[in-house]
């Protein structure tokens, strides 16, 4: 307990330091972006203050100052020169927003006005004499010390204007060059991929005999020693494992994995793995080269303890280049595909729905054992915005007339459509955190017969589920809703904040929270458009918070449907009492409390969780004799 408290204190101190650093960096970024205005204001104020300390500006009227003005012994023209120069430069700054003007005309005009003012001041310094009416010695001393400071400060501000204009010109030049070059050619030469030749899109067709290098080799080199805090935007295929599968549903490319018990699969494990790898390579080629709808491809895990479900997303493995197949090759493979030998339990399955910040990888300790013990298929998929499922931005779904994939109803539709595409006729839905709400909503749809599909939900399992908890913290929402979200400064902080949110208070035994586990949760936050998708999820997070009336109505709609409520006894996010209240409001429910466990039983106590799930689900679906 003492070690836990010390860890909490250290974590709070570290987060406090990071927050202070973020605020300081944000203020520095604001000052840097406002540098032209700040220099302009300083260029006007500093000469005025120095002149006012040398001469009495209020002793004479403006007309008197003008009457007594002399280029050789008057200082009133120095702040006027600075003011006019600053006014001209400020006007140029606002006018030259166009990149082409900023690259050429803006820099030249600023240099002309700045060096012209500096030259005028140098001439004045050469011919300046003390005014005859300043007879007092104190005035002479002031002029002798402050006159050089006045001229020097004005010259420094003139040079500062030139430096700022040069920086703006360099930025404009980079933008112009960016629009003139082949962006894909640049991406192909990025660090980590420089050793590979860029494959043309035409080379990825069936009629071409070019060789496609397996994605594992890209991961082996591209992530060797890489840091996720750097701004590297990746494609999902670079993080895919050997048994990663993709399917097109509702305009989304959904990533999923599945485990099938050996009881319902015939054929040797070696043949099965060889066929699976070939199917996966063919599927990856189709995803890259075609935009047509994906068909269902099945993957079978013969030995769950050796499956890549247990490997980190970025784990490298040795493979050899595999040639593309034509239609005849695929027909031959289909003829020897062991899928044809599946038993009747093929249409009965278990679907795992992860919670906020999770993914398929979060079920890696559960899927294999659950499939072995129950003798049926266990499938897990990545919800929109998480894992390797495609992340649509608003422009994408609006142009294609699709529903918002991140709202609650669309996610429920996706879940039921996914079950249908998997060929299930009977399913048990297992949801963790807000994934449990999706499972309940899907069961409500099926109970009310509002979804046209031949699917029967045998039962629902709710793991650490609360129907009234805000999953997106306030600080993350602030980062997501600010315009600085798109800057390189804020993205690493937001990525760290989300990763810490998922893991910070979720674990009871923090010794199990290793660096590899953190990297598993952090890796998907480096994919393309991850922050835009997270922003959309944050905007709709209120849908995951049900009012007491809506929550009561949802639970009543379950009727006699068997529901298992699993709770971690040490869960700091969803208290045990909340799970007890949830179970008490369900007609046919059972509560299982896992001692010494936090918010992630499938991470901390997978064996205990599998045992509880096996005991519950085995009464709902028939087991095969060999399972």
Whether residue 516 sits in one domain with residue 604: yes
For residue 222, tell me if it sits in a domain.
Answer: yes
Average pLDDT for 344-367 = 88
Average pLDDT for 200-214 = 32
pTM for this prediction: 0.57
Band of residue 100 on the pLDDT scale cut at 50, 70, 90? low
- pLDDT above 50 (res 434): yes
Rg of the chain on CA atoms, in Å: 33
The better pLDDT of the pair 233, 625 is held by: 233
Q: Which helix (H) or strand (E) holds 598?
A: none
**How far is Cα 200 from Cα 268, in angstroms, rounded to an integer?**
38
**How far is Cα 550 from Cα 440, in angstroms, rounded to an integer?**
12
CB of 392 within 8 A of CB of 252?
yes
Rounded-to-10 torsion of CA 264, 270, 275, 281:
120
Whether residue 24 sits in one domain with residue 98: no
> What pLDDT, in 10s, does the model give residues 294-326?
333 333 333 333 344 444 443 443 333 333 334
Whether residue 39 sits in one domain with residue 12: no
Q: 309: which DSSP letter?
A: G
Q: Which helix (H) or strand (E) holds 211?
A: strand 211-212
Tokens at 90, concatenated: 């400020």
**How far is Cα 117 from Cα 155, in angstroms, rounded to an integer?**
8
Question: CA–CA distance from 182 to each of 58, 179, 188, 487 (Å)?
Answer: 63, 8, 10, 23
Whether residue 54 sits in one domain with residue 4: no
- SS3 helix, strand, coil % of the chain, rounded to 5? 55, 10, 35
For residue 86, tell me if it sits in a domain.
Answer: yes
Tokens at 568, concatenated: 């971690």
**How far is Cα 122 from Cα 118, in angstroms, rounded to an integer?**
6
What phi-psi label fits residue 24: left (phi over 0), alpha (psi between -120 and 50 degrees) or beta? alpha
- pLDDT above 90 (res 473): no
Average pLDDT for 461-484 = 75
The better pLDDT of the pair 362, 227 is held by: 362
Length of the chain, in residues: 627
> What pLDDT, in 10s, does the model give residues 10-49?
778 887 887 888 788 778 777 777 777 888 888 888 877 7
For residue 194, tell me if it sits in a domain.
Answer: no
Whether residue 217 sits in one domain with residue 150: no
- pLDDT above 80 (res 447): yes
Q: Which residue has the tokens 């929109």?
A: 384
Which pLDDT value is given to residue 518?
Answer: 84
Whether residue 401 sits in one domain with residue 256: yes
Share of the chain above pLDDT 70, in %: 62
CB of 384 within 8 A of CB of 391?
yes
Residue 381's contacts (CB-CB under 8 Å, 6 or more residues apart) are: 254, 255, 256, 351, 352, 353, 360, 389, 418
Average pLDDT for 141-154 = 67
Whether residue 59 sits in one domain with residue 9: no
CB of 140 within 8 A of CB of 88?
no
**How far is Cα 205 from Cα 208, in angstroms, rounded to an integer?**
6
Which pLDDT value is given to residue 315?
Answer: 43
Whether residue 61 sits in one domain with residue 25: no
DSSP three-state, residue 257:
strand
For residue 627, tell me if it sits in a domain.
Answer: no
Residue 428's contacts (CB-CB under 8 Å, 6 or more residues apart) are: 349, 350, 351, 457, 458, 459, 460, 461, 617, 620, 621
> Domain span at residue 143?
34-180
- Would you give the end-to-end CA distance of the chain in angstroms? 42
What phi-psi label fits residue 250: left (phi over 0), alpha (psi between -120 and 50 degrees) or beta? left
Among residues 520, 536, 525, 470, the alpha carbon closest in space to that of 497 is found at: 525
Cα 142-144-146 angle, rounded to 5 deg: 60
Burial of 91 (0-12, 13-18, 19+ CB in 10 A): exposed
Share of the chain above pLDDT 90, in %: 26
Band of residue 242 on the pLDDT scale cut at 50, 70, 90? confident
Phi first, then psi, for residue 89 (nearest 5°) are: -65, -40
Whether residue 481 sits in one domain with residue 523: yes
For residue 62, tell me if it sits in a domain.
Answer: yes
Average pLDDT, the chain: 72
**How far is Cα 612 from Cα 614, in angstroms, rounded to an integer?**
5
Which pLDDT value is given to residue 146?
Answer: 64
The better pLDDT of the pair 281, 89 is held by: 89
Q: Which residues pair with 589 in a beta bridge?
A: 563
Whether residue 21 sits in one domain with residue 40: no
Which range, 37-46, 55-64, 590-599, is most confident?
Answer: 590-599
When divided into structural domains, the chain yields a total of: 3
Phi first, then psi, for residue 253 (nearest 5°) are: -90, 105
Which pLDDT value is given to residue 104?
Answer: 62
Q: How many CB atoms lie within 10 A of CB 578?
A: 18
Q: Which residues pair with 457 in a beta bridge?
A: 427
Q: Which of 52-66, 387-401, 432-446, 564-578 has the lowest mean pLDDT?
A: 52-66
DSSP three-state, residue 489:
coil
For residue 16, tell me if it sits in a domain.
Answer: yes
Which pLDDT value is given to residue 263?
Answer: 53
DSSP three-state, residue 389:
coil
Sign of CA dihedral 113, 119, 122, 127: negative
Whether residue 225 sits in one domain with residue 160: no
Which pLDDT value is given to residue 293?
Answer: 39
**How far is Cα 256 from Cα 277, in angstroms, rounded to an integer?**
16
Sign of CA dihedral 283, 287, 290, 291: positive
For residue 63, tell me if it sits in a domain.
Answer: yes
Cα 316-321-325 angle, rounded to 5 deg: 125
Whether residue 130 sits in one domain with residue 266: no
Residue 570's contacts (CB-CB under 8 Å, 6 or more residues apart) are: 508, 595, 596, 597, 598
Which pLDDT value is given to residue 9?
Answer: 78
Residue 316's contacts (CB-CB under 8 Å, 6 or more residues apart) are: 216, 219, 220, 223, 224
Which pLDDT value is given to residue 209?
Answer: 30
- pLDDT above 60 (res 273): no
Q: Which of 160-169, 338-347, 465-474 has the lowest mean pLDDT?
A: 338-347
Question: CA–CA distance from 89 to each of 34, 113, 171 (Å)?
Answer: 14, 8, 18
For residue 189, tell me if it sits in a domain.
Answer: no
Helices (H), 181-207: 183-188
Among residues 379, 389, 363, the alpha carbon closest in space to that of 423 is found at: 379
CATH number assigned to the domain comprising residue 250: 3.40.50.1820
């Amino acid at each position: 307990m003492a070690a836990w408290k010390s860890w909490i204190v250290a974590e709070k101190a570290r987060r406090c330091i990071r927050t202070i650093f973020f605020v300081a960096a944000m203020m520095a970024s604001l000052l840097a972006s406002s540098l032209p205005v700040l220099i302009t204001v300083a260029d006007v104020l500093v000469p005025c203050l120095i002149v006012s300390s040398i001469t009495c500006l209020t002793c004479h009227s403006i007309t008197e100052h003008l009457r007594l003005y002399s280029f050789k012994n008057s200082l009133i023209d120095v702040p006027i020169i600075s003011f006019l120069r600053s006014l001209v430069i400020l006007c140029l700054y606002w006018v030259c927003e166009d990149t082409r003007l900023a690259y050429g005309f803006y820099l030249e005009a600023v240099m002309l006005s700045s060096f012209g003012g500096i030259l005028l001041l140098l001439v004045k310094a050469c011919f300046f004499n003390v005014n005859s009416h300043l007879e007092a010695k104190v005035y002479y001393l002031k002029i002798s010390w402050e006159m050089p400071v006045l001229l020097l400060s004005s010259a420094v501000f003139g040079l500062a204007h030139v430096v700022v204009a040069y920086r703006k010109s360099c930025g404009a030049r980079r933008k112009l060059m960016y629009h003139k070059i082949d962006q894909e050619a640049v991406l192909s030469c990025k660090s980590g991929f420089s050793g590979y030749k860029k494959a043309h899109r035409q080379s990825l067709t069936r009629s071409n005999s070019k060789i496609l290098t397996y994605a594992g080799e890209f991961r082996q080199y591209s992530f060797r020693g890489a840091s996720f805090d750097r701004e590297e935007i990746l494609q999902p295929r670079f993080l895919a494992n050997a048994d990663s599968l993709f399917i097109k549903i509702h305009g989304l490319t959904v990533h999923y994995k599945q485990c099938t018990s050996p009881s319902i699969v015939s054929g040797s494990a070696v043949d099965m793995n060889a066929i699976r790898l070939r199917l996966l390579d063919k599927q990856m080629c189709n995803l890259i080269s075609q935009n047509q709808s994906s068909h269902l491809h099945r993957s079978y895990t013969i030995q769950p303890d050796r499956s890549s479900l247990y490997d980190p997303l970025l784990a490298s493995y040795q493979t050899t280049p595999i040639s593309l197949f034509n239609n005849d090759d695929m027909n031959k493979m289909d003829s020897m595909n062991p899928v044809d030998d599946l038993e009747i339990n093929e249409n009965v399955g278990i679907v795992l729905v992860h919670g906020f910040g999770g993914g398929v990888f979060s079920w890696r300790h559960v899927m294999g054992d659950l499939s072995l013990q129950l003798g049926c298929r266990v499938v897990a998929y990545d919800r929109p915005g998480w894992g390797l499922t495609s992340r649509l931005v608003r422009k994408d779904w609006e142009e294609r007339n699709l529903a918002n994939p991140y709202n609650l109803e669309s996610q429920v539709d996706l879940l039921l459509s996914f079950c249908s595409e998997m060929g299930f006729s009977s399913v048990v839905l297992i949801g963790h955190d807000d994934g449990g709400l999706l499972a309940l909503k899907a069961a409500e749809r099926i109970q009310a017969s509002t979804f046209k599909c031949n699917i029967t939900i045998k039962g629902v399992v709710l793991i650490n589920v609360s129907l009234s908890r805000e999953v997106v913290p306030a600080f993350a929402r602030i980062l997501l809703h600010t315009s600085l979200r798109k800057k390189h400064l804020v993205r690493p902080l937001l990525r760290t904040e989300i990763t810490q949110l998922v893991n910070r208070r979720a674990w009871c035994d923090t010794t199990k929270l290793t660096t590899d586990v953190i990297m598993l949760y952090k890796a998907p936050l480096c994919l393309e458009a991850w922050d835009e998708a997270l922003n959309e999820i944050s905007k709709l997070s209120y849908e995951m918070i049900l009012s007491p009336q809506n929550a009561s109505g949802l639970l009543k709609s379950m009727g006699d449907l068997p529901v298992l409520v699993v709770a971690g006894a040490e869960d700091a996010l969803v208290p045990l009492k909340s799970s007890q209240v949830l179970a008490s409001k369900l007609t046919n429910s059972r509560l299982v409390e896992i001692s010494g466990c936090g918010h992630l039983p499938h991470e901390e106590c997978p064996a205990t969780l599998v045992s509880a799930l096996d005991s519950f689900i085995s009464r709902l679906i028939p087991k095969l004799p060999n399972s």
